[in-house]
Amino acid sequence: MKTKQDEQPAIVVSDITKSFRIPLEASSGIKQKLVNTLKGRKGYRKFTPLDDVSFTVNKGEFFGIVGRNGSGKSTLLKIIAGIYYPNHGDVVVNGKLVPFIELGVGFNPELTGRENIFLNGALLGFSRKEMIAMYEDIVGFAELHDFMEERLKNYSSGMQVRLAFSIAIRAKGDILLLDEVLAVGDEAFQRKCFNYFEQLKRQNKTVILVTHDMGSVERFCDRAVFINDGKIKLIGSPHKVAAAYSRNNDEAYNTEVVVENEKAISKSDIKIKLYDAVGKETNKFTSGETMTVRLKWSKKDVKHVGVAIFRQSGEYIFGPNTYLDGYKLHSGNEADYSVALNLGEGTYFIKAGIFGQNDNIRIDFEENGPEFIVSRDKDDLRWGGFTKLEHDWR
C-alpha cells in the first residue's frame, strides 16, 4: 500500500536562480579597490548560469539534464546536492541523496591506491571492516589490480576517476546524482558503468544524469530537460530533448557539415510519413502488421538511405540502410521502407538519414522523426518483451 511519502516527488526544483560575481581584473590591494569604488568602477561582472528554473523529478524516475558547456548543468546539480545555495528559489529533496559529482574528493596523491580506498571509504561513512569486505569488488570493478601499491600521483586521470567511481557506487541512497565524469575509461569499463545504470533502473532508483552523451539519455532516461543559457528550453521525452540539443549544437558550432560533393548541409529536409498495409497514412499499428516508411528529400547526390526504429524510452530496436543491404535506389528523391512490426506494445519513433556513396558520408539526418503506436493483436496470445521472436518448444 502506497503512503503519502511514496506519492511525493523525489525532487522539486522551484524557481531557482543562481548568480556569481566574476572578477574583471586582479586588484592590487585596498588602495586599488578604493580608487575603483570612488571612480564608480565595478571590479566584477555578474554571471547568472541559472535563471528561474523549475521542474519535478518523480520517485523511481531516471531523469536526464543536458546542455552545452556553461549552460548551468553542473551549477544546478550542485544546488540539488546542497553544495551551492541559490539566490532565489528552493529545492525539496524527499529521500537520502548521494551525489557523484566531485569524485575523488579527499584522495591523497602521496598515498597508494589501496590506502586511498580506505581513506575515501571513511569519508563516505564506511567502517574499516566494511571496506575490507568490499575491497576486492572495488578493485575488480576499477580494473586496477596491478596498481594498488602505486602512489595515486602516478595514476592517470582516468584511472583515478575509475577508482573513485568504484568506491562511490558502494554508497547507498534513494536518489543518485550522476555527473558526466562517469563516462571514463575504455569500452569495457564504460560497459560496466552502463550495466550499473541498468541495475539502477531495475531497482527503480531515482537518478539524475548529467551528460553530453545523447545515446545515454535516450537509452536510460524516462524524461530529460534541455538547459540553454540558464533557462529550460525543453523538457519531455528523451528523444525529443536529445534532438533539440543536437540541433542547438549544430547552430552553435556555426560550421556547416560538408559532404563528398562539398555542398553545405543545413537543417534536415527529410520528410517522413507512415502507412499501413493498405496504403493508409497512420501512426497506429497492430503487432505483426507491416508498416511502410516513406522518405522524401530535396538534397542532391543521395545514393543511400537508412531508417531506424527506437522505443520512446530510447532503446535502439533496428536500423538497416540500403548501403549495407546492397540495394540501389530507383529514385533520386524518395524511397519506401517496409517492415513487419514484430514489436511489443508501446510507443516508438523513427530516425532517418540520407547518405552519399556509403553510409559514412552523411548528407542529412532526421533525429526527431514521427512517433507511432503498436498495440497487441487481441486474437493473438499475449507475450512479453520488445519483440516477438520465432521460437519452438521441444
Strand arrangement of the beta sheet that strand 62-66 belongs to? 97-100, 175-178, 206-210, 62-66, 223-228, 231-236
pLDDT at position 322: 94
Q: Where are the domains of the chain?
A: 4-247, 269-375
pLDDT at position 224: 92
Q: With bands split at pLDDT 50, 70 and 90, how would you rate the model's confidence at 218?
A: confident
pLDDT of 212 above 90: no
Average the pLDDT over 197-218 and give the result. 85
pLDDT of 258 above 60: no
pLDDT at position 313: 74
Q: With bands split at pLDDT 50, 70 and 90, how would you rate the model's confidence at 211?
A: confident
Average the pLDDT over 256-264 and give the result. 34
More confident: 120 or 91: 91
pLDDT at position 316: 86
Q: With bands split at pLDDT 50, 70 and 90, how would you rate the model's confidence at 9?
A: very high
Give domain 269-375's CATH superfamily: abc- transporter (atp binding component) like domain (2.70.50.60)
pLDDT of 194 above 60: yes
Average the pLDDT over 183-196 and give the result. 72
pLDDT of 42 above 70: no
Average pLDDT, the chain: 83
More confident: 254 or 52: 52
More confident: 269 or 259: 269
pLDDT in tens, 295-314: 999 998 999 999 999 988 77
More confident: 189 or 160: 160
pLDDT at position 278: 93
CA distances from 327 to 299, 305, 337 (A): 19, 10, 11
Q: With bands split at pLDDT 50, 70 and 90, how would you rate the model's confidence at 28?
A: low
Residue 363 near residue 259, CB atoms below 8 Å: yes
Q: Which residues have CB under 8 Å from 114's CB, separation 6+? A: 135, 148, 149
And the C-alpha cell for 192? 560496466
pLDDT in tens, 321-375: 999 999 999 888 999 999 999 998 888 999 999 999 888 888 999 988 999 998 8
Q: With bands split at pLDDT 50, 70 and 90, how would you rate the model's confidence at 263?
A: very low
pLDDT of 260 above 50: no
Average the pLDDT over 81-110 and give the result. 86
Q: With bands split at pLDDT 50, 70 and 90, how would you rate the model's confidence at 160?
A: confident
pLDDT of 187 above 80: no
And the C-alpha cell for 334? 524518395
| CATH code linked to domain 4-247 | 3.40.50.300
pLDDT at position 265: 37
Task: Residue 114: count other Cβ atoms within 10 Å of its Cβ.
Answer: 15
Q: How far is CA 343 from the centre of its chain?
A: 25
pLDDT of 266 above 50: no
- Whole-angstrom distance between the N-terminal and C-terminal Cα of the chain? 42
